[in-house]
Amino acid sequence: NVTEMESLRSLFDFSISAEEPEVFPDRKPSTRIFWEAVKRAEGRMKKRSAREGETSLVPQLSRWIHVGDDLVNDILPAGQIGMRTVWIEGLQDRSQAFYSTMSADDKA
C-alpha cells in the first residue's frame, strides 16, 4: 500500500487492493479492481468539484495510465476498460512459466 510508505504517500490519493471487500473475491485479470479505482477517483473528484465549481465528474479513462509488471493481470484488463498502460518487464520471477499472446506489434 503506497499510502503507507512515507516516501510515496504524497504522490497518491488512494490505494486499492484485491483483498478489499469492494473487489474480493474477483481477482485480476478481472476488470473489477480497475473499475473500483475509477469509482474511488470519482468520489474524490466530487469532493473537489463541490469546492471548485466543476460539473464534469466522469474521468476520461484514456487519460489514466496503469503501470504494471504482469501482461495478463495488469496490462490487459486495464486496457480493456480504456486505460493507457505501461508494461514494466524484468520485475517478475522468470523461474515460473510465462507465456504471452501479444504480438511484436502489440508490444511496440
Owning domain of residue 67: 2-107
> How many domains, in total, are found in the chain?
1
- Give the single-character DSSP code of 86: E
pTM of the full structure: 0.68
Residue with the bigger pLDDT between 3 and 49: it is 3
The set of cell numbers assigned to 65 is 495510465
Strand partners, 68: 87
pLDDT computed for residue 42 by the predictor = 82
Confidence of residue 88 (pLDDT cuts 50, 70, 90): very high
